[in-house]
Structure 1
Amino acid sequence: MEINFPNLINTALPERRGDNLRDRNAIILSSNTGPNHNEQGFLSTRFPRGMRKLFITAESDDFDEGTLSAWRDEGFEVRYFGLGLDEGANGEAAYRTTLAGLRNVADLGPCETFGIIAFGEAAGICLEYFHHMANNPEFKLACLVAYYPSRIPDPRAVFPGGLRVLVHLTGDDVGVVSHSQVVGIQGKRKVVRRSVERGGGVGGGNVVIGGFGKSAYPCYWYRAPLGFAEGDLDEFDKVAAAVAWSRSLETVHTAFRMDVELEAIVEKNLEGKFFTRNLGQTMSTYTTHKSPHATYFPTLAGGIGAQELRQFYTDYFLATNPESTKLTLLSRTMGADRVVDELHVAFKHTQEMPWILPGVPPTNKRVEVAIVSIVTLRGGRLYHEHIYWDQASVLVQVGLLDPKLVPYKMKAKGVRKLPVVGREAARRLVRGFEDDETGDGEADNELLPGWYDDDDEAEGSDDGALDNGIHERKNGSGTKGDESEEQSGKKSHELPEGIKQEKETQPSTELLT
């Protein structure tokens, strides 16, 4: 087909007049800012479509309603079907017939796909069935997540058609399905038990199936019993289930090309707690489908459930933060259902602050501390919020802990200072760890025994006891620990706006009882 572009332009712009204006170059501007047909995910956002469909399957006719609800809360249309009571060959054959009909049951529209979350014996059958390209016509199955299957396909072979597969394993071994080959024709099926060799880390990744090496499709191992991810079973393990859930959600989101916005709700929560101090805004960020909780771990302050959270924020948080409170975001890491913030928090302790210094009267001391916030979300709302910081550093800064007041037994062993620091830890995060001019850096390590010992001069304690190796690091005529505020200020020019330098004083012991 030939297109006459000059005539096309003249037809589209009939208001142009004059022969000298016709057939001249023109620029066509498009207002469509979405993906084009050459981009991944074309038609995935603007094209009319129904809810993304997930099939969940297991051995029994009924299943844990909590798991089904959790996937529905994430915006999926969820349907459950069971393997059936007959675990013999006839039962498995009937089940495979069901798997073959899933595409029709899903009522898929143009460009639509579906996913499967399978558990136990059903997971093993699904993995084996969809390992063959012929059983996924037109690649309509986008993802398959298998929980503790009794058997898996040959770990050396990838799944065809771009199918995203994730396997959660438990136990010491698993059945590996293989078929004999005769001149390229698939022959007799064989299942051999193979050991599951875990990596040296704690994440359970890099699983190696005995005799085959690392699997070609993702496999994770969990130190948990069979059934650990089903909330209605006695074997339920909430820690392993939570880790597996995050991995499963990431796989499903990627398969369906879903862009989930988590940052906005976390920002709304922070704004409500620290800036607008609005209870309604703060509470609107928490999920209503489950019992959410927020825990400030060094003091174990917080609340579980909407009622306790409302009481905590009303009586112990929103109105207790001084006007001097400043927050600086140092880093943010986002996953499928999790946002981790690293924050620099500074305030002057001019009023009681129960969440960080419960029961401590105002000390008028300035505090700077690094805080890590780990927020878990379900259905686009906050579900768990865990907050951590170095409480010893806070106590040093307000005068409730003096590192030089070493217990008698520790002094007898040569210890001259408690292994705690004050605001310098938080400030080090803000300043960074590299020199701006040279690009090099130097660790502090003030508390590490022997780090700054001179090889030729061993420094002993005055009373003859063995020196613990903690020495002051020399800086000109003084020591780093005794730097004047002017010296310290020269290194602090990169502190966040609003964080004032104040003269360091010896910690007060007036509040010690």
Structure 2
Amino acid sequence: MNLNTAEIIKAAVPEAEGRNARIISQNVSDNRDPNFLSSDFPRNPPKLYITAESDEFDPVTFAEWQAEGFDVEYLPMGNGGDEYLQKLRGLKGNQTISAFETFGIIAFGDAAALCLKHYHVLDNNPDFKLRLLIAYYPTEIPDPQGRFPNNITALVHFIAGEDVGVTKQTQMVGIQGKKRTSRRTIQPGMGTGGLLQLAFPSYTYQAQAGFAEHDLDEYNMICADLAWSRSLATARRAFAQTVDLEHVWEENVQGKFFTHNLKPTMSTYTTHKSPHVTYIPTLTGGIGTEELQEFYSEYFGNPKSLKLTLISRTIGADRIVDEIHVRFKHTQEMPWILPGVPPTQKAVRILVVSIVTLRGGKLYHEHVYWDQASVLVQIGALDPNVVPEAARKIGIKKLPIVDGAAASRVLKGWDPETEGEADNELIPGWHDDEDEDEGEDEAGDKSAGKKPAGNDNAGDEIGKGKSVE
């Protein structure tokens, strides 16, 4: 059976006649599928255009995207208008090898506003070459209720409290219609980096425009890192990239804890930025490769009894989060967890959470957390029943801390009877009802078989459907 594709499209969408179109089947892979071409087929790195108002742009941002395997080029907005839109229409991907090469745009400020409005219209990406569009603090946005065309993966980073223009116009091909523009204040989401409920993925940040550009006074490290993680994850989805972050992290852990070979450990840290590691409860660690080399070679000794059990691992676009059960006998000094404390010969069990951030496939920084109060209880340095005078004055009768039981319960898994590890033993009054029930059960057992006093017709009452207290 032969199908006249042109006639089918003309009949279904008459206004699309003379325009570029394609048919995508749900059952047949297209070039968005990472397996569309053999893994041995030569590929260029994905092409990214960074665009903003100024003639030059933040070099750190360029270096970070390049380190992640992208071919980056800058496109200045110039005076904007038709001249800038013509530049956008002329953008191409890396086409020296494959006709299927696509590209992405990362736009800032006024340039972001123009890119969002332009590519929100269906026929402004006629060759389907634009795969990715990320906008930072645009001054104007398209209809918040209108999605971007399916072939474009979009993401928008907003400034909380900023006023932006909202332009509404028809997205249909050839039916542009009149534009209607209004003003809207971006409401803050839930904390820094909160999600906004728009038709296209968008987040809001408690910062100023320019927060993601390292060379500006408005640069905000926390907001910039959050936005970077989201942008990188979006870019990898758009270009069907898969990156093995787990391997480099495993090399780091093996070198630190097991093989005690620092050479492969140090090779896992990034070189284009200053890496740092912080063990948060004790503020130990190091900043830069020299300090880290010194810290791990001289201050990271661990007893032979140390055992690590990985409970869970979560892997994102640029970070890994581990939940680890750590067990050891305190037979030697351990400056990273008990600095200045001589060996106590006590057994310790704790849960440790490690959050590792990577840049360009290498470790950039690591934050490690655990319950230090639990450690001190287990080595005998802290007694929950010994309450300081200042704590007693505010009504504290027992310090709300636990020993190694918390770590043991998570390692053993959930109790199928109670579906969790929590027992609420530290909450005053939580078990009062249970104690009363147990007392009533014991009293009931003693009086079992006796006739209830003063209620000779108890059986009749129940038979009539009435309840008896």
| Matched residue type, 1:53 | K
* Conserved 8 A contact 1:171-1:226: no
The offset of 1:201, in angstroms, is 5.6
- 1:133 aligns with 122
| Matched residue type, 1:450 | G
The offset of 1:44, in angstroms, is 7.1
C-alpha change, 1:286 and 1:104, in structure 2 (3 Å) is: closer
- 1:462 aligns with none
**Aligned partners of 1:156 and 1:368: how far apart in 2?**
52
* Conserved 8 A contact 1:133-1:161: no
Q: Secondary structure at the match of 1:267?
A: helix
* Conserved 8 A contact 2:120-2:171: no
The offset of 1:416, in angstroms, is 2.7
387, 405, 412: which is aligned to 1:424? Answer: 405
Q: TM-score, normalised by structure 1?
A: 0.75
Query: Aligned pair 1:247/2:210, yes or no?
Result: no
C-alpha change, 1:310 and 1:440, in structure 2 (3 Å) is: closer
Query: Aligned pair 1:119/2:108, yes or no?
Result: yes
Q: Deviations over 1:153-175 (max 9, x none)?
A: 11111111421000000042321
* Conserved 8 A contact 2:377-2:403: yes
C-alpha change, 1:169 and 1:181, in structure 2 (3 Å) is: closer
- 1:365 aligns with 346
Q: Deviations over 1:317-348 (max 9, x none)?
A: 1xx10010000000000110010000000011
C-alpha change, 1:449 and 1:54, in structure 2 (3 Å) is: same
The offset of 1:199, in angstroms, is 4.0
C-alpha change, 1:131 and 1:287, in structure 2 (3 Å) is: same
- 2:47 aligns with 53
- 2:299 aligns with 316
* Conserved 8 A contact 1:106-1:114: no
The offset of 1:179, in angstroms, is 2.9
C-alpha change, 1:186 and 1:454, in structure 2 (3 Å) is: closer
**Aligned partners of 1:331 and 1:105: how far apart in 2?**
39
- 2:355 aligns with 374
40, 60, 64: which is aligned to 2:58? Answer: 64
Q: Secondary structure at the match of 2:242?
A: coil
- 2:33 aligns with 40
| Matched residue type, 1:416 | K
**Aligned partners of 1:286 and 1:360: how far apart in 2?**
30
C-alpha change, 1:295 and 1:200, in structure 2 (3 Å) is: closer
| Matched residue type, 1:231 | H
- 2:157 aligns with 168
The offset of 1:109, in angstroms, is 2.7
The offset of 1:292, in angstroms, is 0.3
* Conserved 8 A contact 1:53-1:106: no
C-alpha change, 1:450 and 1:201, in structure 2 (3 Å) is: farther
152, 174, 178: which is aligned to 1:188? Answer: 178
* Conserved 8 A contact 2:95-2:101: no
**Aligned partners of 2:210 and 2:432: how far apart in 1?**
55
The offset of 1:203, in angstroms, is 4.1
* Conserved 8 A contact 2:327-2:350: yes
The offset of 1:49, in angstroms, is 1.9
**Aligned partners of 1:83 and 1:52: how far apart in 2?**
22
Q: TM-score, normalised by structure 2?
A: 0.82
**Aligned partners of 1:450 and 1:439: how far apart in 2?**
19
C-alpha change, 1:154 and 1:376, in structure 2 (3 Å) is: same
List gaps (5 residues or longer) in structure 2.
1-27, 440-469
C-alpha change, 1:326 and 1:337, in structure 2 (3 Å) is: same
235, 238, 244: which is aligned to 2:221? Answer: 238
Query: Aligned pair 1:303/2:286, yes or no?
Result: yes
Q: Secondary structure at the match of 1:227?
A: coil
| Matched residue type, 2:132 | C
- 1:388 aligns with 369
Total equivalences in the alignment? 409
The offset of 1:244, in angstroms, is 0.2
52, 55, 73: which is aligned to 1:79? Answer: 73
- 2:9 aligns with none
**Aligned partners of 2:228 and 2:148: how far apart in 1?**
22
Q: Deviations over 1:487-513 (max 9, x none)?
A: xxxxxxxxxxxxxxxxxxxxxxxxxxx
423, 432, 438: which is aligned to 1:453? Answer: 432
**Aligned partners of 2:386 and 2:192: how far apart in 1?**
38
- 1:92 aligns with 81
| Matched residue type, 2:175 | I
141, 144, 164: which is aligned to 2:133? Answer: 144
C-alpha change, 1:108 and 1:218, in structure 2 (3 Å) is: farther
State the percentage of identical aligned residues. Answer: 57
**Aligned partners of 2:303 and 2:276: how far apart in 1?**
24
- 2:334 aligns with 353
Query: Aligned pair 1:268/2:251, yes or no?
Result: yes
Q: Deviations over 1:193-245 (max 9, x none)?
A: 1122344465410x1xxxxxx31110110001011000000000000000000
